[in-house]
Amino acid sequence: MKRVLGLAVGVYVGAALVGLARERMGRIACGCADDCWCKQPGLSVFRWVFPRGHKSSWTGEPKPPEVF
């Protein structure tokens, strides 16, 4: 069980780092408001693997995940 949990966490963090790398290369962009949770240091790594709960920069409403 520990091995499966460790593998799942590793895959999740790996996907987060791939998303962050794609963002830094300019392939994807986040249009959230400055006060969105995904703009916080440390949490921004997970914005691309947890696409729910983001705030739109113009309405404050949750926005749909961007697909590129």
User: How confident is the model over 20-59, as pLDDT tens digits?
Assistant: 888 888 888 777 777 777 778 877 777 777 766 666 555 5
- The answer to whether residues 46 and 16 touch, using CB atoms and an 8 Å cutoff, is yes
**CA-CA-CA-CA dihedral for 2, 44, 63, 65, to nearest 10:** -60
Say whether pLDDT at 1 is over 90. no
pTM above 0.85, yes or no: no
pLDDT for the residue numbered 7: 95
